[in-house]
Amino acid sequence: MIQHKKCTCDEDAWEEIVVKNDDYFHNKTVVYYHCDECGEDFRIEDFETGEELFLGNT
C-alpha cells in the first residue's frame, strides 16, 4: 500500500506531483499526492519542510 493513498484505484494511477511557486500555497514549492484515476488529492505537503498543508478525509 502506498502511503497517503486512500482510494481503491490501481497503484499505477498514483502520482507525486511537485509544483514550484504554487499560487494556492503562497508561492511555496509543494508536493501533491494524487490519484489520476479518481482525481483525488489525498495529501499536499511543503516540499522544503515536509509540513502537511492538506490531508483529504476520503
pLDDT score recorded for residue 57:
65
pLDDT score recorded for residue 42:
92
For each successive 10 residues of the chain (58 residues), what is the average pLDDT? 84 94 96 93 95 84
pLDDT score recorded for residue 14:
92
pLDDT score recorded for residue 17:
95
Residue by residue, DSSP assigns 3-57 as TT--S-S-GGGEEEEEEEEEGGGTTEEEEEEEETTT--EEEEEETTT--EEEE--
pLDDT score recorded for residue 43:
93
